Amino acid sequence: MYGGGNVFEATKFDNLQTEDPAKLAEFEARIARGEKIEPNDWMPELYRKQLIRMIEQHAHSEIIGALPEGTWITRAPGFRRKMAQMAKVQDEVGHAQLLYSAAETLGKTREQMLTDLINGKSKYSNVFNYPAFTWADSNIISWLIDAGAIVNQMANAKGSYGPYSRALERICAEEAFHLKYGHDAVVHMATGTPKQREMIQAALNRWWPPIMTFFGPSDKMSTHTETLMRWKVKMASNDECRQQFLDMYVPKIWELGLTVPDPKLKKNMETGQWEYTEPDWDEFKRVINGDGPCNAERLAVRRTAEERGAWVRRALLNPKAKYVKPLA
């Protein structure tokens, strides 16, 4: 699963004038021809920084996203669901490993990324700062958060950076199981007893507002965004992803007789666009900056795992080891 909603702010590296014009032209021509960029290629600083940031956030989202669902492994109803939930959580942690490696090829070490995560310097998908109160919450995450993630990842897999595309190809294949598993779990509840229906509706009501912020606020169209789109770093606008998600999943929610807690939600048949209540972006900003119901817990869990496992890693470390970044 993935947290979308990358906010691509301009950075001080935005100034392309400092780049070698001949190399920049060659780089852009390669992307225009549809060729992928590989780690050893020359690349503009802006390209490198934005990709590190994006892939790193994606990796953190996988590893933190495993926490609200991991919570439910021991309490999953039935052996088969426990096994499936476990397999899914293991997949997510595996995705983090793949993504950390892809980011590493750009020059940031896994040690630096983990330190930045624990210290709150790098972000992860904001939706994971909300709790999974019941088993039904876990089902909604498995289905709809993963659905959102797939919309995002399918777009990003067509991006220009080779290692990220390779990782996403594997990730998307595994996500297909997550989506079906989540849908199955939600359908089971929605077509079950009145109590089960009530539970899944309550979970949907809790998760809808975070889901609507999942893809991030509308992009400000700037030369910066245009550059990143031309370089195939950003593959679709946040609003395009949100529209695609609504198109694919609102009908599937409605066919189960569930309601979406937004009275304004409807598809405008003339424009073909979904209309909805604007998500609370002030809350989004507040939570992403640390003040959400689970921020402290998520980071404390991650930090404790790192700290309590440190002696094992130290004991295993080969004194002759030498760091070389992964090749591809």
Partner 1 sequence: MKVIYLQQLLTQLKLLTNITMLKSLDPRVTRLNLPEGEMPPAEPKQELDQFETYEAFHQKKEGTAHTYVGPVHAPNEDVAFLFAKEQYSRRFPCVGLWIVRTENIMVTPYAGDQENVYDLMRLEEPAERSEQPEPYEIFHLKKRGKAHTHTGRVMATSYQEALHEARTQFGEKGPIVNVWVVKSKHVLQSAEEDKDMWTTIPEKKYREAIAYKVMDKITKYKEENKTTA
* Residues 144 to 163 in contact with partner 1, rule: CB under 8 A: 162
Answer yes or no whether residue 296 interacts with partner 1 by CB under 8 A: yes
The region of 30-38, 50-58, 218-226, 276-284 touching partner 1 under the rule CB under 8 A is: 30-38
Rounded-to-integer distance, Cα 289 and Cα 287, Å: 5
Answer yes or no whether residue 281 interacts with partner 1 by CB under 8 A: no
Rounded-to-integer distance, Cα 124 and Cα 57, Å: 5
In the complex, least distance from residue 43 CB atom to partner 1, rounded to whole angstroms: 12
Q: Please identify, using beta-carbon distances, which residue of 230 and 326 lies nearer to partner 1.
A: 326
Looking at 11, 15, 191, 273, which residue binds partner 1 (CB under 8 A)? 191
Residue with tokens 């980071």: 299
Q: What are the tokens at 156?
A: 């990003």
Answer yes or no whether residue 260 interacts with partner 1 by CB under 8 A: no
Q: Please identify, using beta-carbon distances, which residue of 77 and 326 lies nearer to partner 1.
A: 326
Bin 257: left if φ > 0, else alpha if -120 < ψ < 50, else beta: left
Which positions ≥6 away from 72 have C-beta within 8 Å? 85, 132, 135, 138
Q: Please identify, using beta-carbon distances, which residue of 30 and 267 lies nearer to partner 1.
A: 30
Within positions 39 to 78, which residues make up the interface with partner 1, using CB under 8 A?
40-41, 67, 70-71, 74
In the complex, least distance from residue 126 CB atom to partner 1, rounded to whole angstroms: 18
Within positions 122 to 141, which residues make up the interface with partner 1, using CB under 8 A?
131-133
Within positions 303 to 322, which residues make up the interface with partner 1, using CB under 8 A?
303-304, 306-307, 310, 313, 316-318, 321-322
Residue with tokens 């993963």: 146
Q: Could you tell me if 198 and 19 are in contact, meaning their C-beta atoms sit under 8 angstroms apart?
A: no
The region of 47-55, 80-88, 220-228, 259-267 touching partner 1 under the rule CB under 8 A is: 80-88
Rounded-to-integer distance, Cα 20 and Cα 122, Å: 30
In the complex, least distance from residue 152 CB atom to partner 1, rounded to whole angstroms: 19
Sequence-ordered alpha helix ranges (H) in the chain: 21-32, 45-70, 79-104, 110-118, 135-140, 146-157, 162-190, 194-213, 223-230, 238-254, 281-288, 295-316
Within positions 194 to 253, which residues make up the interface with partner 1, using CB under 8 A?
none
Answer yes or no whether residue 24 interacts with partner 1 by CB under 8 A: no
Residue with tokens 């409807």: 266
